[in-house]
Amino acid sequence: MTSQAPIGIFDSGVGGLSVLHDIHRLLPHENITYIADSQHAPYGNRSTHFIQKRSLELTQALIDKGCKLIVVACNTATTEAIQHIRDQVDLPIIGVEPAIKPAARYSKNRKIGVLATQRTTDSKRIRELIELYADHCEVSLQACPGLVEIIESNDQPTNLHLLENYLQPLLEKDIDALVLGCTHYPFIREQIEQIIGNDITIHETGKPVAEQINRVMQQANLANKKTKIGTITIYSSSDSTDSHTTISKLWPNPAILKNLNEEEPKHD
């Protein structure tokens, strides 16, 4: 495996672009290949079997494109499928999990809110994270059905009302820390801030994940040489032009945009 090989990232859709943003900022010389599985978003109401099968297929697609390390840039797929992928793939696999640990460390009143998909708020893993890092805190979990769809369709400003419904119960709990437990949500951070004001600290996972990737690559001698800015290639599994429009809006930096399903067949 050469250090010039790309870092592979996938998400149920465009959410992982928020993680791509942090990875590219910390590691600008890395080539990156991203797959948005927008044809199948949201994963939040899919079965564990589906998420595991699809996550493995996307991992394999990234391996076929020569990736040296895989980032599961989706909290839901990390919870449901990361072990399944690690059991079958012999590459470093890095996942994302809600930032409960830093939120618990920095919360002054020990009242934390978590926004995430229904599958993540219902998961065994989130209960483990709370027990491990926040057993001294009051943690309020808020599932947000519909938000991923809004972000995928880029229909954000018109749907503040739904967001208010999800944030209101957390505001009533007097939280001073809010965890964005889905990689799509950083794209509506401004709208969230408009509702919660300045006194609540927002915690995301992109930066710590980028730092973890850096550590793993240094240890495995996989970091690319700092000679030129890396190439970003973004695939979507959705044929709709909406998907490409959303991607272009969320990732305005120059990137190569491709349709995953129109790839030429592989030859041996």
Give yes or no for a contact between 42 and 185, defined as CB atoms under 8 angstroms apart: no
d(CA 46, CA 42): 8
Closest distance of CB 115 from ligand DGL, Å: 10
The two structure tokens encoding residue 256: 């190569």
* Residues 151-210 contacting ligand DGL, CB under 6 A: 182-184
Does the protein bind ligand DGL through residue 148 (CB under 6 A)? Answer: yes
Place of tokens 């465009």: 14
CB atoms within 10 A of CB 145: 13
**How many angstroms from the chain centroid is the CA of residue 50?**
18
Of the two residues 13 and 92, which places its CB atom closer to ligand DGL in the complex?
Answer: 13
> Is there a contact between 97 and 129 (Cβ–Cβ < 8 Å)?
yes
Active site residue 182: yes
Q: Is 117 in the site for ligand DGL (CB under 6 A)?
A: yes
Q: Which CB atom, from 4 or from 156, has the smaller least distance to ligand DGL?
A: 156
Q: Which helix (H) or strand (E) holds 179?
A: strand 177-180
Q: Is 42 in the site for ligand DGL (CB under 6 A)?
A: yes
Asked if 76 is part of the footprint of ligand DGL (rule: CB under 6 A), the reply reads yes
Minimum Å gap between C-beta 188 and ligand DGL is 12
Catalytic residue ranges: 74, 182
Residues interacting with ligand DGL, by CB under 6 A? 11-13, 15, 41-44, 74-76, 117, 120, 148, 182-184
